Structure 1
Amino acid sequence: MEIVEEPKPERADPLTSGLAVAQGAFYLATGVWPIVHLRSFEAVTGPKLEGWLVKTVGALIAVVGGTLLAAGLRRRVSPELKLLATGSAASLAAVDVIYSPQRISPVYLLDAVAEGVLIAGWCVAGARTWKRQGVQPPPPQYTSPEDAAGFPT
């Protein structure tokens, strides 16, 4: 049996790890809040019909936050974690914006602003990484089956 070593991930730059720490701490705090004290959470965000559902969503947000926080502190923010961070922020912002005028408290629009700042931060970090790596040339284009097979022309 052959032992295969996984390559060690690159250390994240300060912006990327800082974003992961900031978003992780924010999500961990806001996710745990309704679990620890639902009454104060509802005092700020408005009454909720299903306390168990609020706590479930809070637990999921806290798990995402804890994961981002741990990765940011270790400076090991993988592309998959960047996708999780950006996708989570975009999903929460969409819910905030879509439902705030109709069904939920307008205070959620403040959360939408915070999520927008996080999304912008991840976009800036991604652009900086892309720029630092440089533009890769496109793969060679084949014009005939002979070229693709490697036959001399």
Structure 2
Amino acid sequence: MKLFRWLIKIQSVYILVTALWPLIDIESFMMITGYKKDIWLVKTVGALLIPVSLTLGSFLFVHTDARPAFLLGALTALAFISVDFYYSLSDVISNIYMLDGTIEILFLLAWIYLSTQTSKSR
């Protein structure tokens, strides 16, 4: 359960920071990630990620079935892995997104490891 709590803390904070960044300072966000034509879309994705982060983080305080947290954490990571690598390798978005994709792979691997450990203990 200790790894579960740490993973939730790290991933939910990571999602929250990356969600708030373009909402707070789109200029510095684009300095790192590259120019964006549709700034409204970047801000929409950021706004949509805030509830994902807060929902994932809520599992630190609400003691209930943890399976939804596993799904939310793992599938969010998988979605970002897919988008980050596909569009970076297609030269649609900056290669800096491959760094995010790598971080997301680590999150996904942690969720997979945690789920195997949880199922072994049952």
1:58 aligned onto 2:46: yes
* C-alpha distance in 1 between matches for 2:108 and 2:62: 19
TM-score normalised over the length of structure 1:
0.75
What is the RMSD of the two structures over their aligned residues, measured on CA atoms?
1.2
Aligned counterpart in structure 2 of residue 113 of structure 1, from 97, 102, 105: 102
* C-alpha distance in 2 between matches for 1:66 and 1:41: 21
Q: Do the aligned partners of 1:22 and 1:69 also contact (CA within 8 Å) in 2?
A: no
1:82 aligned onto 2:70: yes
Q: For residue 143 of structure 1, what is the aligned residue in structure 2?
A: none
- How far apart are 1:61 and its partner, in Å? 1.5
Cα deviation, 1:128-151, whole Å, max 9, x if unaligned, reads 100000xxxxxxxxxxxxxxxxxx
Cα deviation, 1:113-134, whole Å, max 9, x if unaligned, reads 000000000011101100000x
* C-alpha distance in 2 between matches for 1:91 and 1:24: 15
- How far apart are 1:78 and its partner, in Å? 2.0
- How far apart are 1:69 and its partner, in Å? 1.8
Q: For residue 126 of structure 1, what is the aligned residue in structure 2?
A: 115
Q: For residue 84 of structure 2, what is the aligned residue in structure 1?
A: 96
TM-score normalised over the length of structure 2:
0.93
Look at both structures and tell me which one has the larger radius of gyration over its CA atoms. Answer: 1
Structure (1 or 2) with the greater helix fraction: 2
> Unpaired runs of 5+ in structure 2?
none
> Unpaired runs of 5+ in structure 1?
1-12, 134-153
1:28 aligned onto 2:16: yes
- How far apart are 1:62 and its partner, in Å? 2.0
- How far apart are 1:75 and its partner, in Å? 6.3
